Chains A and B, each alone.
Chain A
Amino acid sequence: MTFRIHPAIGIARVGNSLEYYIGPETMAGMPQEGTDLNGGLPIRPDTDGETITSADVRDGAGALKRQAARFTVFEYDDAPLGSFPSGDGTPVGIGTVLSDGRTVTDIIWTVHLANKKANCWLEVDEEGIASYTGGGLPPLRNPGFGGADDPSAPERLAKLVIDAGPRTVQGTGASVEFDTATPASAYVGGAVTELPDYPKQFPDTATFPDLVCPSGEAITTLGGLRTDSKGRLEVLGGHGLACGFGANALPLMHDVNNDGWLDDTSDGPVTAVLVLDDGSEVPLEGSAWAVATDPGYAPQTLNIVSLWDDIYNTWIEHFDVNPGIYANGAYLPDYQPDFYEDIFPVFRAASLQMWNTNLPDSAIAAHDSIDNITPEDDPGNRLYVKALIRNPNPDPDGSNDFATGSPLMPLSLGDAGKAFLTLSTSQYFFVMQWFDKKFTATPPVPLGPGERLDKVVLANCLGGRFSPGIDLTFIVRDTELYNSDWTNPAIGPFRIAMAPLDYGSAQAGTPFLGVGYTPTRPGQAGVEPGDICKFMAIPWHTDYNSCATHLPEPNPGGDVNSRKDPHVFEGINTTLFWSWPAQRPVAVYTFDDLAANGGALPRQKFSVRGEGTKAQPSPAGPGPFPAQNVGRFQDRENILLNWQKIGVVMQGPAIEGYDPSYPTNYYLEVASLFEDDADPVIPWPNTISDNPSG
Chain B
Amino acid sequence: MTFRTGGLAAILLAGFLGVPAAQAQQGTDCSAPTDWFPHAQTPPPDDNADFNSNCAFHLWSWQAFLFLTQNDDDGMPRFLSLIPAQDVVDGVPDTEPNEVMLRPRARKSDMGETFDEVGQAGSLGLLVDQNGRAVYYSMYVNQTYYDFVVTQNQYNVPANLLAAPADQNYPIGSVTLKAAWKIMGADEDASGFFTMPATIETLSADAAGNVIADPGQTEEVTVALVGLHVVGIVKGHPEAIWATFEHRNNAPQFSLGQLIDDPVSSQDFTFYAASTTAGECNQNNAAFLTLTDPAAQTLSPVTQVCRQYPFGGGSTQNSANIGSLNSTVHAGLEADSVWRNYMETGAIWFSQVDALEPNMAMDGSIITGSVKLSNSVIETFTQKVRSEDQCFSCHRTDMVFPPDAVDQPLPGKNLNISHILLNAYVQNLEAK
The residue from B120, B208, B387 contacting A406, defined by CB atoms under 8 A apart: B387
The residue from B256, B278, B360, B386 contacting A556, defined by CB atoms under 8 A apart: B386
Please give, as numbers and ranges, the residues of chain B lying within 8 Å of A690 by CB-CB distance.
283-284
User: Measured between alpha carbons, how far is A694 from B257 in the docked complex, in Å?
Assistant: 26
Contacting pair B284 A360 (CB below 8 A):
no
Please give, as numbers and ranges, the residues of chain B lying within 8 Å of A693 by CB-CB distance.
288
The residue from B283, B384, B393, B409 contacting A569, defined by CB atoms under 8 A apart: B384
B123 close to A (CB within 8 Å) = yes
Contacting pair B309 A691 (CB below 8 A):
no
In the complex, what residue of chain A is closest to B285 when comparing beta carbons?
Answer: A694
The residue from A369, A569, A687 contacting B401, defined by CB atoms under 8 A apart: A369
User: Measured between alpha carbons, how far is A656 from B278 in the docked complex, in Å?
Assistant: 48
Q: A681-B287, A685-B110, A687-B385 are in contact. Are A603 and B208 (CB under 8 A)?
A: yes
Q: A603-B208, A682-B286 are in contact. Are A384 and B359 (CB under 8 A)?
A: yes
In the complex, what residue of chain A is closest to B306 when comparing beta carbons?
Answer: A568
A565 close to B (CB within 8 Å) = yes
Q: A362-B110, A556-B386 are in contact. Are A568 and B360 (CB under 8 A)?
A: no
Contacting pair B403 A365 (CB below 8 A):
yes
Chain A interface residue bracket vs B? 35 or more
Shortest Cβ gap from A232 to chain B (Å): 41
In the complex, what residue of chain A is closest to B253 when comparing beta carbons?
Answer: A567
Contacting pair B406 A368 (CB below 8 A):
yes
Q: A360-B110, A368-B406, A681-B287 are in contact. Are A568 and B278 (CB under 8 A)?
A: yes
The residue from B111, B259, B372, B411 contacting A366, defined by CB atoms under 8 A apart: B111
Contacting pair A568 B280 (CB below 8 A):
no
Chain B interface residue bracket vs A? 35 or more
Q: Describe B's contact surface by its main secondary structure.
A: loop
Please give, as numbers and ranges, the residues of chain B lying within 8 Å of A571 by CB-CB distance.
372, 386
Q: A360-B109, A567-B256, A603-B208 are in contact. Are A381 and B409 (CB under 8 A)?
A: yes
Contacting pair B308 A568 (CB below 8 A):
yes
Contacting pair A407 B284 (CB below 8 A):
no
Please give, as numbers and ranges, the residues of chain B lying within 8 Å of A597 by CB-CB distance.
207-208
Interface string of A566-593 (1 = CB under 8 A from B): 1111111111000000000000000000
Please give, as numbers and ranges, the residues of chain B lying within 8 Å of A573 by CB-CB distance.
386-387
A382 close to B (CB within 8 Å) = yes
User: Measured between alpha carbons, how far is A533 from B403 in the docked complex, in Å?
Assistant: 42
Interface string of B249-270 (1 = CB under 8 A from A): 0000010111111000000000
Contacting pair B308 A567 (CB below 8 A):
yes
In the complex, what residue of chain A is closest to B125 when comparing beta carbons?
Answer: A682
A/B pair count, beta carbons within 8 Å: 159
B19 close to A (CB within 8 Å) = no
Contacting pair A361 B411 (CB below 8 A):
no
The residue from B280, B288, B382, B412 contacting A685, defined by CB atoms under 8 A apart: B382
A684 close to B (CB within 8 Å) = yes
B187 close to A (CB within 8 Å) = no
A386 close to B (CB within 8 Å) = yes
Contacting pair A603 B387 (CB below 8 A):
no
Please give, as numbers and ranges, the residues of chain B lying within 8 Å of A370 by CB-CB distance.
401
The residue from A366, A406, A566, A689 contacting B384, defined by CB atoms under 8 A apart: A689
The residue from B123, B280, B386, B407 contacting A405, defined by CB atoms under 8 A apart: B386
A–B complex contacts, Cβ < 8 Å, 23 sampled: A362-B109, A362-B115, A362-B403, A365-B403, A366-B401, A368-B403, A372-B407, A383-B399, A384-B359, A388-B398, A406-B388, A567-B310, A568-B260, A569-B384, A572-B386, A574-B385, A601-B208, A624-B260, A624-B279, A685-B382, A685-B387, A694-B289, A694-B301
Residues of B within 8 A of A (CB): 109-112, 115-116, 120, 122-124, 207-210, 254, 256-261, 278-280, 282-289, 301, 308-310, 359-361, 363, 372, 382, 384-388, 393, 396, 398-399, 401-403, 406-407, 409, 411-412
Given contacts A574-B385, A683-B123, 6 further A-B contacts (CB under 8 A): A363-B110, A387-B361, A566-B257, A568-B254, A597-B207, A603-B287
